[in-house]
Every structure is written in C-alpha cells, then in structure tokens.
Structure 1
Amino acid sequence: MADELDLLRRANPVPADDPLTGDGPLAPHAERALNRLLHAPHPGHHRYTRLAWGLAACAVVLVTALAVLLGGTGTTPAVAAPRPLTVRPHSTVVPLDRLAALAAAAAEADGSPELRKGTHVQSWSLGMSDDRPPVTLPEERIVRWHSDDSRTEIVVATDPRHPGRPVLTDEDGSPHQVADGHVLSRRTYPPSWSDAPPQAPPPHGLGQLRAYLAETIHTDSLTMPRLLDAVDELLDHWTLGARESAALVRLLADTPGLRPVGQVTDRLGRPGQAYVHDTAGTRRMLVLDPATGAVRGTETTFSADQPEYGVVAGDVMEYSAWMR
C-alpha cells in the first residue's frame, strides 16, 4: 500500500515540499511512475463507497451514521477538520472579467496545456451524525483513460497535510482508521464511449460550453449554483486544456453570482484567486489559477451553525483540489 502511495505522490505535479509549484504537464519520470501505479498487478481489491450527503435550504440532510468515531481507545483524532481557506488581508482583488482576459491570452500562448480525459483530485468531505461529532474523510483519486477507451481508477486514503499519519475512512460503511496510503478502490473498467456530456469532450466555444454544462447536470437554467455543480462534475471527468479553461472563466464571468474576495493559498500550497457565492446556510468558494484561470479547487463551508450535527459557521463541508 505504501509503495502505491509513494508512486501516486511522485506523479503529483505539486509535491508537498515545493508549495509554489504551479500546474503543468507531468514530467516523463512522473508519467512512468503513474503508469506503473495504474497497471501493476495488485493482490487485492477494496470496495469503496462514496460519502453521500445533500443540502436542502438551510438544513443538512443526514445520510451517514458513524458507528465508530475514531479507532482505538485513547487515540488522538486521525483527521482534524480542515480550516477554511483564508483570504490574505489587503490582497489584490481580480474581477472575473479581468481574469477571463488573462486566461484568453494564456490560451493563445505556445505550449499551453491540452484537454485530457481523466482526473487527479484530492478531496475532503465531512461525515456527520446526530449523535457523534463530525469527522473529515480525506482521499486522493486518479482516473486515467487508455487508447482503447478503457479506464483505470485508483482511490487512496491519504491526507497531504499529515503525511504518514493514520487516516479516517468510511470504507464498507464502517468508519475506522487505516494506514496512510490504504487503497480504498482499484478498478479497471472496460472500453466505454459516449457522445453525451460529461463523457463527450467539452467545447471551448462560450455558447456551446454553456449548453454542454446545462446538459451535464440536466438543467434548463444554468444559474451560478447550478454552474458550480456542473464545474465539479466536469472536472471529475476531464482535465481542462487552456482553451477550455479560458471559456469556462468567461462563462463564470458572464453569469451573475460570484464575487472576488482576494488571494488565497490552496491546500496544495498553490497561489490562487478566490471567488465566492453565498446561499442559505453555505458559502461556496472557487479558487482559480491567477495567470491561466484554471480551476484549482472548490470549497463549501457552513455559513450558519448546525448544532444538531455539531458544526458551526466556518466549518468545511467539502473541499476538492484538482491537479494536472
């Protein structure tokens, strides 16, 4: 397990010891390590069940009950809830229109990254119960598609904030601690192809992208909350190229609801521009690359206390950080 995690981290273009490293294509050695990870024989498979939860109006709907909070009597928490991202005081606020122009210019530059099917994402989600304190469940997921339209997906329990420490997981519906790098799921899927979103390649024309994202989440009204839902869904299937990122930022700028708040450092140590959308009970933050407009992460936090679930305003409900 530890060997696989080491390979996954070596394939990460944002190493923990280099917090200022930006996005970019994988180096040849990292690509070879990633291919070894995805294709090497593995003696066992573990079923992975995603934490499902929903939010309706101001109330959080309970969808998972934790039978065990932390493994072992007298142990310290395996995973502390991440703090919300902090906007740097007095930092430069970049309007989305301005960032869209920067992204369009970056898309015209030589060597701009190309669209790639598949994703590499680090995520945290909050597990809640009405009789236990909330806990944070971290994982890393990578999906790579192959030339025959088959794909390989690996999910690992790991938290880059605390390398080597035990990690809390809800694997098999029984929350417990596992070793850092524990493989939650490793699967290879047979060839599959579709011309419907989000399997179809996203367009980089503004009108076409709007229609594509609306179809992705089955809506006729792509308001800002629904657009942010569609962004999450898109990035769980595709790693955007420069032109697609530029089109997405322009679409975000043309849709009312996001306001710039300043500069942040994301959970992988990368600089970003933050934009927030407030709804009843929650705040959603979108973190964009300050030079190219590429989406670096999204964060949802509670904006009101939910004492019945042991959460207070500012607690992180979920966070995703995407990598190339």
Structure 2
Amino acid sequence: MSTSRSVRNLMGPADPAAGVTPGTEAAERGLERILRDAPVPALRRAPARAAFRSRPAVAALAVAAVVSGAVAVWPGATPVAFAATPPPLAYHLAAEDSRRGAAAELEEIARRVETLPESPGGERSHLRWRQWALWTRTDSGGSFSKVVPEEFDLVRSPEGARLRRFLLDDGPGSATEQTADATLQGPVPVTADGLRAWLRSRTPGIDGPLGASQAVHDLVTQRVLSPRQRAALLRLLADLPEVAVTGEVVDRAGRPGVAFSADSAAGGLPTRYTFIVDPVSGQLLGQEETLTESAGKLNVPVPSVIEYDAYLVSQDTP
C-alpha cells in the first residue's frame, strides 16, 4: 500500500487535508523515494509549545507530503506552491450570543459546570490527544513547509507516567514510549485567580492569548480536571483581552461545542487563538491557531490554520 493511501486510511475524518486531490502515482513514488533517502534538514515549527512537544527531525528534502495533502515544492521550483493546511471549521454565531459576549457566555457555562458532581477519582488517569502542526524550513532557496500530525496517549499511575506517541503519517508502527515528567506540580486551583497565578509560574504570558494557549495546553495534557477546576479554566479564558464568541461548531473529532477566540501578534504574526468548549461538561475539546493577516516566511496562504489540538480522552480510572 502506498504511503499516502496508508495515512489517509489512518487519519480518517480527522485528516487535516481531507478533500485535497493527491498527486499522480509517479509523484507519490517520487515523494516516497525522497522522504526515504533525503538528508534530514532543520525544521522550524511556528509557533512552539512547551509540554510534551519534543519532535524528531523529519526526513524531507522537498517539503511536500502527498501523504497529508501538501503540494510538492522542490528548491528553485516556480511558482512557489503552498503547503496544505486544514480547512477552517464552520462556526455559527447566533445574534444573541454576539450581543451577550464571551465573558457572559463562559461565566454561564462555568456556573453550570461547577455544580456537577465530582468524580470518585482513581489511582490512574488517562489523557489522549491529537495534534497537527506546521513545520517550516527556511534557507537561501526559500521556505518549505510540512504538516506533522501526531497522537499522544498518557497514562499516569502510582508506578509513574508513560507517554505513548506516534506520527499519524507513519502509523502505529512509529509509536514510541517515554517516561512523562510532570511540569505542573501540586493540586490544580479551583478559582480563576488561583489558577492564573499557578500557571504563571511556568508561563509568564498567561494573561495574553498566546500565553494562555500554551498554558492551557500544558494543563489539559497533564491533568484530569474536576468540574470546579474546569469552571476556573473557563473563567480564566473569559478574562483574556477582547475574547469573543466565535460561535457553535463541530470540532475536528466530530463533537459539538462552542468556540471562543482572541487575537494576538505576540508570537510574531497576527494569530487568532480559538478554544472549543463542551457547553455541558465544560471540557476543553480543542484549540486552534489561525494566521489572520500575514504568513511571514511560512509557506501558507492567509488565512490558514497552522495548528490544532483535539483533546480526545480525559478521565480518571480505577
């Protein structure tokens, strides 16, 4: 089975480039040969996050990847082709939600969530998430970009924590395991102010959209949150500057949610940071980062989704 067909079968509906027409059979064979034989270049991800974000170098001379729907780009080729990025999600914003605003909407969800019964907990916790990110290499020949879809599975127990990771491009056979050291220590606070101060010790920029995005990702990929802790997280998001209701949405895992967004250029390019919330449970379903005005040296059109996370499992187990 060709690499491209194998990956499309693995990715299924979560394929970030679903619907992109693949190249010819000859192009696929050529790409597979390049990816197999080429020297490993240095790739730069834009932007980067901290926790559980170590990535191996990806062997690719020409950044292309029919496997994920990207367009082949060889050094010196003209015109320059864009790397494929996921289509934007479809947001549906009701007029009353727009008038009421994000702070009121998030507070309403938080009040409902904090009354939910606490789970009995357990000695083990299970977290699983999928992420897609754009990597870019820039040299004298230009900028070349590649998409890197990954899945992570983290199990914590009294014996320790094991993180299983595999590249969706390469399938379960690429899985690796490592000991997962927690970067967030102590109990998670149950108030917005307490949570903000606790996260600030690791992410000083917590008060802005970029820092909040990084800190929230670290939190939900390390801890299973109780209803009160989820409510605190929602109130923290409500305090972001100029946060707005983006609208109702079906996320990339097929789940309904409500999206909230805030814009910032703190990462170097004007970017919209979107948080998708389950309005019933208060769980964070996912995050999205979208370039809104300029791509800089990144080899993508504008607007473009340059990263997303889908949080699939978050539970305590006996």
Distance 1:155 1:124 in 2: 13
Does 2:104 correspond to 1:119? Answer: no
One-letter identity of the residue aligned with 1:226: G
Work out whether 1:263 is the aligned partner of 2:255: no
1:216 paired residue number: 202
Does structure 2 retain, via aligned residues, the 8 Å contact 1:306–1:312? yes
Cα distance, 1:64 vs structure 2: 8.3
Letter of the 1:155 counterpart: R
Note if 1:67 corresponds to 2:61.
yes
Are 1:181 and 2:192 matched, yes or no? no
Query: How many angstroms apart in 2 are the aligned matches of 1:51 and 1:146?
Result: 35
Among 148, 163, 166, the residue aligned to 1:137 = 148
**Per-residue deviation, 1:320:** 0.5
Gaps of 5+ in 1: 1-14, 18-49, 57-62, 159-166, 168-177
Query: How many Å separate the matches in 2 of 1:309 and 1:125?
Result: 12
Q: Is residue 45 of structure 2 the alignment partner of residue 53 of structure 1? A: yes
Letter in 1 for 2:148: L
Report sequence identity in percent. 26
Q: Secondary structure at the match of 1:201?
A: coil
Tell me the C-alpha RMSD between the 2 structures: 3.4
1:323 aligns with 2:312: yes
Say which SS state the counterpart of residue 155 (structure 2) adopts: strand
CA distance in 2, matches of 1:307, 1:209: 34
Pair 257,51 (structure 1): closer, same or farther in 2 beyond 3 Å: farther
Tell me the equivalent position of 1:102. Answer: 109
Shift of 1:157: 2.0
CA contact (8 A) 1:114 1:241 kept: no
Distance 1:127 1:282 in 2: 16
Counterpart contact for 1:127–1:137, Cα < 8 Å: yes
| C-alpha distance after superposition, 1:58-105 (max 9, x if no partner) | xxxxx989424357xxx6655653112221265763633233233332
Counterparts of 1:106 and 1:91, CA distance in 2? 24
CA contact under 8 A between 2:85 and 2:300: conserved in structure 1? no
Q: How many equivalent residue pairs?
A: 243
The CA distance in 1 between the partners of 2:120 and 2:302, in whole Å, is 38
Q: Secondary structure at the match of 1:96?
A: helix
TM-score normalised according to structure 2 size: 0.65
Match of 1:156 among 163, 166, 170: 166
- 1:237-279 Cα shifts (integer Å, max 9, x gaps): 1122211111111122234331112111110001111111112
Q: How many Å separate the matches in 2 of 1:133 and 1:91?
A: 41
> Would you say the 8 A contact 2:152–2:165 is kept in 1?
yes
Closer, same or farther: CA 262–82 of 1 in aligned 2, 3 Å: same
Alpha-carbon distance change, 67 to 95 in structure 1, aligned in 2, over 3 angstroms: same
Mapped partners of 1:313, 1:286: distance in 2: 20
Pair 1:288-2:277 in alignment: yes
> How far, CA to CA, are the matches of 1:301 and 1:262 in structure 2?
16
3-state SS of the aligned residue for 2:107? helix
Distance 1:114 1:274, change over 3 A: farther
8 Å CA contact retained: 1:154, 1:186: yes
- In structure 2, relative to structure 1, the CA distance for the partners of 1:68 and 1:316 (3 Å cut) is same
- Larger RCO: Structure 1 or Structure 2 (Cα < 8 Å, ≥ 6 residues apart)? 1
| 1:301 match | 290
Q: List alignment gaps of at least 5 residues for structure 2.
A: 1-11, 15-41, 49-56, 71-83, 314-318
State the distance in 1 between where 2:254 and 2:108 align: 25
* SS of residue in 2 equivalent to 1:182: helix
Q: Does the C-alpha gap of structure 1 residues 294 and 52 become closer, same or farther in structure 2, counting only changes over 3 Å?
A: farther
Structure 1: which amino acid aligns with 2:196?
A: R
Contact 2:64 2:145 in 1 (8 A): no
Aligned-partner SS, 1:198: coil
